[in-house]
Structure 1
Amino acid sequence: MRKKIITSAFSNLSTDQRIEKICRTLYENGYEIELLGNNWGGAEKMSRPYKVSRIPLISTSLKTAYFEFNWKLYRELKRKADKSTVLHANDLDALLPNYWLAKKLGIPLVFDSHEIFSEMPAIQGKMSQKLWRYLEKKMVPDIQFMITASSGYADWFKNKYNVDATVVQNAPRKLSGSIEIPENKPRILLYQGVINPFRGIDKAILAMHHLDNIIFKIAGDGPMKKEYEDLVTRENLQHKVCFLGKLLPEDLRKITPTADCGMSIEENGGESYFYSLPNKVLDGIQARIPLILSNLPEMQNIKRQFDIGEIIKDHRPESIAEAIRKVLDKGRKNYLPELDKAADFLCWENEEIKLLKIFDKASASL
C-alpha cells in the first residue's frame, strides 16, 4: 500500500521549486502525495501528478493571513490525516497545526526549514519576531525528523536547539543535453528570485553606471520591485536595466542559461541570510553561468570547492562592477570546466537520496 504524505506550506505553490521537487521525488518513489497551500499572492493553474489544493484566505494583511491559514490548515489536516499518514511541514509558518496533529494522532512529522524563519530581515525587531521565536523554541527541539537547505542552517539549529537536521540543498535536477553559450551583445547580467531587501539588487542597479555594453535583467517579483523600478528611472538607467516580472519555474529555466553572469550578492540581513545558500546559486551553476557572490559562509564554501565566479569585496556599486567585469573578461567558456564539476556534484539527483532516507525513516515509524 502506498504510504500517504500530506505536505503543507504557506505558499500559493506555483513557483516554489523546492516543494515541487520534493513532492515529485516522493511521488515517483511510491508515496501518495497531497499538497496543501493557499491563495495568498495568487492562484495560478498548476499541473502536478499528485493531488494539490489551496486553502482560500480572506485576510488582506499578512499578519492576519498567518493566523487564518494555520487555523484552516489544522482543520484540513484533521479531516485528511489518519494513523497511516506522514505529515510534512514547510517552514515555521506552517508548523504549528502539523505539530499539534502529529502529537494528537501519534504520527510522524517531517519539518523542512527552508530558512531560519524567525531571523528573516522582514521581521527583525518586530513583535511578530518574538512570536515566531517563541513557537520555534517550543516546537523545534521536539522535532524528530528535520531537513534544511544549507549546512549553515543545520549548524544553527544544532547549536540553538540541539536538533539534528539533514541538509537537503535546493539544487536543480541535472540539465540534459549540451548547453549552448550565446554570444550576447550587449552581455547579460541576471538576477533571479524574489525582489526583497538585502539581496543587493539596488547596489547592482547602481553598478550599471560603471559598466558598458551590459543589460541587467531582473527576473522575479516582490515587495521592493516598485522601489527598484523607481530607482532605475531616477538614475536614468532604463536602457541598462529591465524587469522580466514573475516567471514560472519552467520559463525561468529557459532564461537562466542565456545570461553571461548571474548574481547572488545577499547582504548580511540577519542569520537567515548569513547562513543561506540561495537557490539562484545552484540554478546558475546547473545552467553553467558564472556568478558574482557575496562573501558569506555558504557561498565562500562553494567558491573554495569550485572556481565558478568571483566573490565581491563589499557591496559598493564600484566593487560589484569590478567583480562583474572580472567574470565577463574571463568569459563564460573559461569557467565551464569548473561549472561542469560543480553541476555534477550540486544536483537534485544527489540531494534526493538524503531526502528519501528521512521520509523512509519517518514512514517506517508508523
Structure 2
Amino acid sequence: MKKVCVLLNKDLSHQTRLFRENETLVKAGYDVSVVCVSEIPGKPKQEKQNGYAVCRLLKKRLYKYHLVSLRLLKSFLKVLTSHPRADYVHVHDPPVLLLGFLLAKFWKARLVYDSHEWWDALFQEEQDRLNNGTNMTPAQRRKKLGQLSWMRRFESWVLPHCDAVIAVNDSIGQHMQAQAPKPLKYYATIRNFSPYQQIERSNRLHDHFNLPAPTKVILYQGQIARKRGIDKAVEAIEHLADVDVVLVLIGPVLPADEQFLQTLLTRIEASETLRDRVFYKGFIPSSELLQWTASADLGLQPIINTCMNHYLCLPNKIFEYIQANIPIAASEFPELRNIVENYKIGFVFDPENPRQIAQKIRQFFDSPELKQAYLSNLQRAKQELCWETEEQKLLDLYAAIG
C-alpha cells in the first residue's frame, strides 16, 4: 500500500478540500497521514479520523512568508523521526512547500503541490503594502521584503520540480503555469466541489427568524469579513424597501474582522429599513449547513475585486448553493460568471453597485418563470459539478505520477 504524507501549516478544521481529497485517496487504497505543523489547544497531537492519521507537531505555525526558519528545521526533524517514509508528499500552500520539498528529496518521494490560491499574487500584494508604508522601521521593512522576495522566487522555481501541481480553478492555474520558468511535469485543475446531495427544501430560516411564509430569503454564507461585499449587499437591501425580502448572513468571523461585524450590526440596528430585514446567524457546522441553505430563495456571492485572488475566486459557497438547489447571484468575475451563466443558474452583477444588485434581485423575484428555469438547470449543475465527478482528476494524477 503506497503511503501519502499530507502537509499543511494549520489544522484540519474547516478544510473541506483536504477532507475530500484525503477520503478519496483512502477509498482508493492509499495509506494517508496528515501532518499539521501547528498544534491546536485541546486537540490531541496524534489521532485517527475518517481512515487516516493526523499528527500535530509544534505550538506555532511556520512563518507565512518566511522561507527558512528554526521552526522549519524542527518540523523537518520531527517528521523524519516520527513518520514512516512516504511515497508521496502532498503539500498544501507555500508555507510548507520547502518542508515538503526537503522531505520528498530525503524519501525519494513524489512531490504534489496543491495551491489553494494564487500565491504569487498574494506575495506581490504584500510587497506593495510594505512599500506603500507600514509602522515598520526601514530595516524591518527591508528584512520583510527580502523574505517575501525569496519566498516568491522559491515558489516559482519549485513549480517545475514538483511531480504534480494542482490549482483550484483554470484561471489561477493558467497564471501559475505562466509564472513557472519551465513547463510543469503534470498539472491539474481540481475544484472544491461539494459532494452530490439530495436535499429537500426546508423552512429553517423562516422558522428561526420568525419570518412570514411569503417572505423571500437572500442568503450569504461563508466567512464574515471585510472586502467580501457584505456591506454592499446590506446597502442593496435598503433599495428593496418595497420588496418582501430579507438578507441572512451565516458564517464565522475571525478576530481581525470582529469590529467590522459589530459596525455592520450597529448600522443594521440603527436603520428602520434594515432592522427587521437583515439577520446574522453565526457559524453553523458543515454537517448541518446545507439544511439551512436549502431554505433560502437566492444564494449571494458579492465579493469585491480588491485583489487578483478575489477577482479569480471560485468559493465553496457556490457549490453549496448548487447542491442546496438555490439560484445564485454573484459578482461578475471570470470563474463565477463561467459557472453561473454557462449553466444558467442565476445572474451576475457589479459588486460595487448596490443599486444594480437591488435591481437584478428585483427582476429575479418579479419573474417566477426565470426562477423556475434556474431551478430546472440546477439539476444538471448538481450532477456535473459535484465531488464524485471531480475526484477522478485526483486519482488520475496519482496514477500518472506513479
Give the TM-score taking structure 1 as reference length. Answer: 0.87
Kindly provide the CA deviation profile for residues 268-300 of structure 1, in whole angstroms up to 9, marking residues without a partner as x: 222222222111111111111111111111112
Alignment of 1:217-366 (within 5 A): 217-222=249-254, 223-235=256-268, 236=270, 237-330=274-367, 332-362=371-401, 364=402
CA–CA separation in structure 2 for the residues paired with 1:37 and 1:109: 17
Q: Which has the higher contact order (CA 8 A, sep 6+)?
A: 1
SS at match of 2:56: strand
Q: Which runs of 4+ in 1 moved over 6 A?
A: 59-66
Largest Rg, 1 or 2 = 2
Kindly provide the CA deviation profile for residues 83-126 of structure 1, in whole angstroms up to 9, marking residues without a partner as x: 54211101112211001121233211111111112323973624
Letter of the structure 2 residue corresponding to residue 167 of structure 1: T
- The alpha-carbon deviation at position 29 of structure 1 amounts to 1.1
Alpha carbons 1:219, 1:246 under 8 Å: kept: yes
Structure 1, 272-281 or 216-225: larger mean CA deviation:
216-225
Change (3 A) 1:68 1:260: farther
The residue number in structure 2 matching 1:169 is: 191
Alpha carbons 2:188, 2:393 under 8 Å: kept: yes
Change (3 A) 1:73 1:290: farther
Structure 1, 178-187 or 108-117: larger mean CA deviation:
178-187
CA–CA separation in structure 2 for the residues paired with 1:153 and 1:165: 12
Structure 1, 99-108 or 126-135: larger mean CA deviation:
126-135
Alignment of 1:51-66 (within 5 A): 51-58=53-60
Instruction: Say what the alpha-carbon RMSD is for the aligned residues.
Output: 2.9
Change (3 A) 1:291 1:248: same
- Which one of the candidate residues 221, 226, 231 is aligned to 1:202? 231
SS at match of 1:258: coil
CA–CA separation in structure 1 for the residues paired with 2:127 and 2:320: 28
The residue number in structure 2 matching 1:137 is: 156
Alpha carbons 2:39, 2:56 under 8 Å: kept: no
Give the TM-score taking structure 2 as reference length. Answer: 0.80
Change (3 A) 1:188 1:67: farther
Count of matched residue pairs:
361
Unaligned residue ranges in structure 2 (runs of 5+) = 131-144, 207-212
- The alpha-carbon deviation at position 3 of structure 1 amounts to 1.2
User: Identity across aligned pairs (percent)?
Assistant: 26
Kindly provide the CA deviation profile for residues 135-162 of structure 1, in whole angstroms up to 9, marking residues without a partner as x: 3123223222111110111111111113
- Which one of the candidate residues 93, 96, 100 is aligned to 1:94? 96
CA–CA separation in structure 2 for the residues paired with 1:103 and 1:65: 17
The residue number in structure 1 matching 2:170 is: 151
SS at match of 2:392: helix
